[in-house]
Structure 1
Amino acid sequence: MADAIPVTILSGALGAGKTTLLNHLLESVDERIAVLVNDMGELNVDAELIAEGGSAEGVAELSNGCICCELRDDLETAVMRLARSREFDGLVVESSGISEPAPVARLFTTRSKAAAVYDVDTLVTVVDAAGFHDLFSGGTSTDRAEVSEGGTRPLSDLLIEQVECCDVLVVNKCDLLSPTEIDEVEAVLERLAPGARIVRTEFGAVEPGEILHTGLFDAEAGARNALDSTDGDRAGHDHRHPDEEYGVTSFTYRRRRPFDPDRFASLLSDLPAELIRAKGSFWVAGRDARLRLGYAGQIARVTAGEPWIAARPAVERELYRENHPDLEWDDEWGDREQALVFIGREFDEEALIDRLDGCLTDDAAGDGGPFPDEGAVEFGR
């Protein structure tokens, strides 16, 4: 968009070094940058630190909430107020450690007042290299953080979503790891976000051009789809990739038969310890909802989505198919299918496929077992 103010959205886990990076950026950049900082507490410490530095053209703060959900309207108000009261060349939005970047980006890409003034330029995720290595290379974690009233979510699952939905990965605190360990971290990150640019840093010292005015954000592409990134895309290469050297592999599991709910629930509670990530959609006997899987940190979270097209009333089903001629349709099962991707380090792919196949059934009837028609459930060790 001509004359629109470019926006860099800065995400990352708690303690990854987002504020340190932002302060370094403001001190080194040769242009006018405004900043919006979101913090979960009532006291916005990050905003105070940035304001004290005095390098930002303007600092707005949102406290005691998450800008990707309950503070969305406040976010729009804040960025519009900045645009009216200040002149600046770019905006950096530092989201809280439990925010997802995609919903924040949507504010600037959908029909809104902000979208008329701003244009998303880059989604940046800051990764604590040492913490990531401990979590996904050297160990596991089941730490959790509240994200909605009455519900919990694995921090590791949120961290991976921040990684998967980005244009630039800033691997920070590299001084805490050996070169081999950093290579291991990057091998996992490359598998999780194959299209992202990776930048190594210490103490958040990143060059401005790495995260400002990159033009890397693609609104049409949206979040990366790991289902399109499998081992098959390396065919024909004559050299070893980091993911091969460090044992990071992935495969996509697709089937047209339903899962037996009890057998699949048992599998989700006992996935291989070497598995880093699993995601996608699936269906179980006795449930009409398309179920979505997100697995990280040895916790599998299953969320119920909209009903499969095949499970909808005949008139609605046929109308949908007429309007979507490219929809893949099976004569017996309709659009229902298993479409899951699994990413891990040195795990037995064939053994897991055999276990998944062992969960399949020819009978689509049933009680759905522990899987929801709405809401979410979790499985873990």
Structure 2
Amino acid sequence: MGGSKRRPAIPVILLTGYLGAGKTSLLNHLLRHPDARIGVIVNDFGDLNIDAGLVVGQVDEPLSIAGGCVCCLTDDSELEDALVAMTDPGLRLDAIIVEASGFAEPLTLARMVTRMGRHRFHLGGVIDVVDATMHFRTVDTSALPPMRYAATTLVVVNKLDQIPEAERDAAVAAVRDRVHQRNPRVIVIGTSRARLDPTLIFDPGEADRRSAHPRRGGAAAGAEPIQPELPIRELMRQAYAEAAVAQAADDGASAETLPHRHARSVTVTGRGCADPNQVMDFVEDLPPGVYRVKGTVQVAVGSGRRRFGVQAVGPNVYVSETNDTDRQEADSVLVVIGEDFDAEAARSTLAAALNPAAMSSARAERLLHHVRLHS
């Protein structure tokens, strides 16, 4: 295992929610980010409703999974084939987003993606979009919340701009209270027109940065040639900024007050070998408000040292052994990303994990268990 060469697995993000809640609006918003390279798989009834112009520069075209709800298909090979095709390193994708039918069952879809992954891709989160204007009229609060929230990692309460401002906090709180009856670890946030900071969900431009990063001793054999940045990328950045200003004007607000949820992040580094159990204690039970954690940790295994890539989104933990030999300023680096969390507490906890006071004697079995789980 230690000598195997493995490309970084691509996160697969499941985008779920009932018809009209705003799934496609959120997807289109993510596609508008000028640095994002996103693979798109659509499972819906009827015609594709992705803004065609937004897919240009991201993927050639969205792939459609036809024949009914993807989680009910008797043959799920079409989904697996589509996901595997999008792991082609030539595409240099940051993430793959599966926009599921409103009838899809998130728990079933999450299990399917996890089972199919095998270190080619991994579950990067399950987002459920809720229509704030419909919630109070359609929800039977006397019944238990749906099982879909058992697999959900992020609930987006959308269309807050369509209800009175004085009622918005209460609307989000009502959804949060209900969702937490089923799964208290789900993060629930409110949005208007599905405007959500993409860095909360994935890392725009990560694949391009990885491809451009020089390897020690020269370029990696077989690496894709780095293409010069095209003028259209700068035009897209400019259009992205101008669209925010224009939308603010439509809302009668300044760009600074435009309802757009921004992610918060904390980076923690370490020298030497980290304590693997302290690291896993953190990523297996993320603090309130933390949505995901990513990075690399170096730990002692037997008489040597090995490095592992760690990704966690909600309760979903993905670990892979990495052969990355790039010289870095730190042996371990973990980035904590969320919307509203105790940054100093997270920093303190991870600093102790990545820089133990004494050489950790803890075994890396929990890390290795997650590696085997996805093999």
What TM-score, normalized to structure 2? 0.48
Question: Whose radius of gyration is greater, 1 or 2?
Answer: 1
TM-score (normalizing by structure 1): 0.47
